[in-house]
Structure 1
Amino acid sequence: MKVFVSMREIDELGRVTLPAELRRSLGWGPGTPLELFIDEAKGEIILRLYEPGCLFCGRVDNVFEFRGKKVCRDCFAELEKLL
């Protein structure tokens, strides 16, 4: 695991710039979709690559594509019961 440490300030518009070296190492370019999570207790913001989850519950694990939409196995099983 590569560790990258850098200090950045929030600009007047509330933006923070990610260093080019960091973006390159993660393969993030212009238009890369990202998710932001906040841990208020720790005062941390977590930034990660956005992966669309289940259409119904939002889970990102145990997901497969069905007719162009992502669905988790649990939601699919519930849908099968309705049929």
Structure 2
Amino acid sequence: MAQSRIVRRIDTLGRVVLPIELRKTLGIDEKDEIEIFMEGENIVVTAYSAVCLFCGFPGELIDMKGRPVCTHCANELHSWGV
């Protein structure tokens, strides 16, 4: 997608629609999770990719009390009796 400015209005509930061109470029589909954060004075929106809470590894994650943890860190926690 060519760099261009797109202006969208925020509705009364604080929502904004991401244009289809941006979603296609980022590979974001309906019901996908996105990550929103501040970088300086800018709002950044990216496709969300879960990583291990402890080491940042992006693959082979399991859910431990609602948090993503890789199998290596989960095994290490288990060996500590956590």
Q: Residue 50 of structure 1: CA displacement?
A: 1.0
Gaps of 5+ in 2: 63-68
1:53 equivalent in structure 2: 51
* Structure-1-length-normalised TM-score: 0.62
Gaps of 5+ in 1: none
Mapping for residues 26-45 of structure 1, pairs under 5 Å: 26-39=26-39, 42-45=40-43
| Backbone CA RMSD of aligned residues | 3.0
2:9 equivalent in structure 1: 9
Aligned residues: 75
- Going from structure 1 to structure 2, the CA distance change for 1:63 and 1:80 (only over 3 Å counts) comes to farther
The 8 Å contact of residues 63 and 72 in structure 1, kept in 2 or not, is answered as no
Cα separation, 1, equivalents of 2:13 and 2:71: 38
Cα separation, 2, equivalents of 1:63 and 1:19: 27
